[in-house]
């Protein structure tokens, strides 16, 4: 038989069996043939065979896999575990388990998924989820199908040409100065005073604040080096990990008032550890540990901050402190690039589009500067 062969089975059915030579078996030395059924005319079958033979010659032909999307994604989650953080992996696993597997997509054969199927999945999910959530699904689908191509289970990814919904830029209004003063006055002496003040005066993420250690402080240069963060997962519980990106590892300037606050906090922490003795679970390295010296839970701090906000009648959300710090820097003349580096953003677009909110006063000053140009009118 030649490299390929076509036969109609049974005759007159319109079902054509195409068969092609793959090569010799290294075990038996016999020729190995693969086959596929094509519906339509003999011309359609000939086109399919010609395409397969051309792909074989180019080295781009990939055999059809019997994996369903569900089966492949479960394998992908297992094999991909070492490529992302435990927190990210749990997030991916949740999307796969709760959304992708129960959907029509989960039951399809991996090799039969087309771009139109991915687009239909996005449309269906938008009925119950936000555009941001659906874009998270797009991230998972893109990553998994890209791996399918790299692992030679597919010839191309159907996600590449799919169009996820546009994300509406979230708006988190920063605190105004009067609100900051109310917060500062209320938290003085509170057990959460230090983690709130650090975020307020440095713009650190909550996980970064709770991961700070005394060795990260350079008192002489008034510098705080951000090196790690607290990660909370079902697998490992609370633990310290390196910050997620190179941009997140950064030096941040400390205010003079914070140098004194930190010195007092360290002295009190040593006294507490001495009094608690064997009940103290920490090693004395963390700046903002839990009451027993262990790693503090970010969720606990976030909820406590929400209660504090309710008491002083200001908007909730610990992350708002980060937005506020960035906006204060910009209003006081810092360039966008400097703000990006201090906030630890990998992309300057994130800083400009989401985190920095110019005040009305700074907008007015900018407009007045242009006004001076036309003063001759």
Q: Other CB atoms closer than 10 Å to residue 211's CB: what's the count?
A: 27
- The answer to whether 245 and 341 are in contact (CB under 8 A) is no
pLDDT in tens, 14-31: 888 888 887 766 667 777
Look at residue 226 and give its three-state secondary structure: strand
Please, which residues bridge with residue 241 across strands?
229
Q: What band does 62 get if pLDDT is binned at 50, 70 and 90?
A: low
Mean pLDDT score of the chain: 87
pTM here is 0.72
Mean pLDDT in residue range 96-116? 94
pLDDT given at position 154 = 81
Look at residue 24 and give its three-state secondary structure: strand
67: DSSP letter: -
pLDDT given at position 365 = 67
Alpha-carbon separation of residue 120 from 140, 236, 268 (angstroms): 16, 36, 59
Alpha helices in 30-68 (DSSP H): 42-58
Mean pLDDT in residue range 55-68? 66
Check pLDDT > 70 for residue 125: yes
pLDDT in tens, 254-297: 999 999 999 999 999 999 999 999 999 989 999 999 999 999 99
- The answer to whether 98 and 106 are in contact (CB under 8 A) is no
Q: What band does 140 get if pLDDT is binned at 50, 70 and 90?
A: very high
Instruction: Give the β-pairing of 237-242 and 250-253.
Output: unpaired
Alpha-carbon separation of residue 27 from 20, 30, 34 (angstroms): 20, 8, 17
Q: Other CB atoms closer than 10 Å to residue 118's CB: what's the count?
A: 24
Check pLDDT > 70 for residue 134: yes
Least confident of 15-19, 22-26, 41-45, 183-187: 22-26
Instruction: Give the β-pairing of 228-233 and 223-226.
Output: unpaired
Pick from 72, 113, 120: nearest CA to 96? 72
pLDDT given at position 160 = 93
Domains of the chain: 4-58 (no CATH), 69-150 (1.10.150), 177-361 (1.10.443.10)
Per-residue b or e along 65-96, where b marks 16 or more CB atoms closer than 10 Å to that residue's CB: bebbbbebbbbbbeebeeeeebbebebbbebb
Tokens read off for 196: 């709130």
Distance CA 2, CA 19 (A): 10
Pick from 296, 88, 311: nearest CA to 206? 296
pLDDT given at position 301 = 97
Check pLDDT > 70 for residue 178: yes
Check pLDDT > 70 for residue 74: yes
Mean pLDDT in residue range 338-353? 84
Check pLDDT > 90 for residue 11: no
pLDDT given at position 304 = 96
Tokens read off for 305: 């901050």
Name the residue with higher pLDDT: 161 or 153: 161
Distance CA 169, CA 350 (A): 10
Tokens read off for 214: 């005394």
Look at residue 5 and give its three-state secondary structure: strand
With tokens 């090799």, the residue in question is 111
What value, to the nearest 5°, has the Cα angle with vertex 261 and ends 325 and 220?
Answer: 85
Check pLDDT > 70 for residue 368: no
pLDDT given at position 173 = 86
Check pLDDT > 80 for residue 170: no
Distance CA 165, CA 300 (A): 33
Look at residue 83 and give its three-state secondary structure: helix
Pick from 125, 68, 79, 76: nearest CA to 101? 68
pLDDT given at position 38 = 85
97: DSSP letter: I
Least confident of 97-101, 199-203, 348-352: 348-352
Tokens read off for 216: 């990260």
pLDDT given at position 265 = 95
Q: Other CB atoms closer than 10 Å to residue 331's CB: what's the count?
A: 17
Check pLDDT > 80 for residue 360: no
């Amino acid at each position: 038989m030649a490299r390929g062969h076509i036969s109609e089975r049974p005759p007159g059915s319109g079902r054509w069996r195409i068969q092609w030579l793959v090569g010799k078996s290294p075990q038996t030395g016999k020729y190995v043939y693969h086959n596929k059924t094509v519906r339509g005319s003999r011309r359609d079958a000939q086109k399919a065979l010609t395409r397969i033979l051309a792909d074989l010659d180019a080295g781009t032909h990939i055999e059809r896999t019997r994996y369903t999307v569900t089966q492949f994604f479960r394998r992908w989650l297992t094999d991909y575990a070492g490529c992302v953080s435990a927190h990210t992996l749990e997030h991916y696993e949740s999307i796969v388990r709760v959304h992708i597997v129960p959907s029509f997509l989960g039951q399809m054969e991996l090799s039969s998924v087309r771009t139109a199927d991915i687009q239909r999945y996005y449309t269906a999910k938008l009925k119950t989820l936000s555009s941001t959530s659906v874009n998270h699904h797009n991230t998972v689908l893109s990553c998994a199908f890209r791996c399918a191509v790299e692992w030679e289970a597919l010839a191309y990814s159907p996600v590449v040409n799919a169009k996820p919904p546009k994300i509406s830029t979230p708006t988190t209004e920063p605190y105004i100065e009067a609100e900051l003063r109310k917060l500062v006055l209320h938290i003085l002496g509170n057990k959460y005073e230090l983690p709130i003040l650090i975020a307020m005066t440095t713009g650190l993420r909550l996980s970064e604040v709770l991961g700070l250690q005394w060795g990260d402080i350079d008192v002489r240069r008034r510098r705080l080096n951000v090196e790690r963060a607290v990660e909370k997962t079902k697998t490992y519980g609370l633990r310290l990990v390196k910050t997620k990106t190179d941009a997140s590892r950064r030096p941040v300037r400390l205010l003079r008032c914070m140098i004194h606050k930190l010195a007092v906090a360290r002295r009190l922490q040593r006294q507490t550890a001495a009094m608690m003795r064997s009940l103290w679970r920490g090693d004395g390295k963390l700046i903002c540990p839990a009451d027993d010296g262990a790693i503090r839970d970010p969720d606990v701090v976030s909820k406590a901050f929400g209660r504090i906000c309710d008491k002083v009648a200001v908007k909730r959300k610990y992350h708002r402190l980060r937005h506020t710090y960035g906006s204060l820097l910009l209003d006081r003349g810092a360039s966008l690039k400097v703000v990006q580096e201090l906030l630890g953003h990998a992309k300057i677009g994130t800083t400009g589009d989401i985190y920095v909110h110019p005040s009305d006063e700074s907008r007015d000053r900018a407009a007045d500067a242009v006004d001076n140009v036309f003063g001759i009118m």
